[in-house]
Chain A
Amino acid sequence: GAVVSQHPSRVICKSGTSVKIECRSLDFQATTMFWYRQFPKQSLMLMATSNEGSKATYEQGVEKDKFLINHASLTLSTLTVTSAHPEDSSFYICSVPRSFSYNEQFFGPGTRLTVL
């Protein structure tokens, strides 16, 4: 299966700071990547679709100015949580779909964000 990496795996920051999370597709190029958020003991919720060369598409209820997404290349997407607050503390996971059919998605190991 495809390998997807995320960096950092864990970050602790003060309220008001911005945090950048990277998602890399190591095996193949991806014009699309997905960002999910998972609160404790809850399931994954899709936040946004990252599109290489164009703006990200955000799900309803997700603030695009707070969660900045940049799909810099065909193997890298970044999610920046701006002016983070304690309620943004969560597990952020990215995924990369297999080729153009989007038949299967491969998930990164996740990033645990804790905002103090």
Chain B
Amino acid sequence: KQEVTQIPAALSVPEGENLVLNCSFTDSAIYNLQWFRQDPGKGLTSLLLIQSSQREQTSGRLNASLDKSSGRSTLYIAASQPGDSATYLCAVRSGTASKLTFGTGTRLQVTL
């Protein structure tokens, strides 16, 4: 059974700092890994999708890496802003069809 863990559970940084969020998964036989952002009481916004054959994806200030063999992914946020404050979830697609297994999330707060 796939299990996804995210570290840290919560993180507070001052504006402008670069930061790294970590995601690990137990079964390396994945199709892809997706990073999402969730604002309080809201749905999910897809940030980056990395296919199993890829090692990283970039979008603006965000960079996600994938090391499938070790079961790890990182989300790098450059020059953080207060608007980046949210919960960040990683999810891996593995096994049958398109089942996604979500991590527990990292609650990020960027302070002024």
Contacts and interface: CB of A to CB of B under 8 A. Distances in A.
Interface stretch (A12-20, A71-79, A81-89, A108-116): A108-116
B43 A102 contact: no
Contacts of B101: 46
A93 B98 contact: no
A80 to B, nearest CB: 20
Interface string A33-59: 010000000111110010000000000
Interface residue SS majority, chain B: strand
Interface of A: 1, 6, 32, 34, 42-46, 49, 91, 93, 95, 97, 102-110, 112
Interface of B: 31-32, 34, 36, 41-46, 49, 51, 89, 91, 93, 97-105
Given A32-B98, A45-B102, A110-B42, 11 more contacts: A1-B46, A42-B104, A43-B105, A44-B100, A49-B99, A95-B100, A103-B32, A103-B51, A105-B98, A105-B100, A107-B46
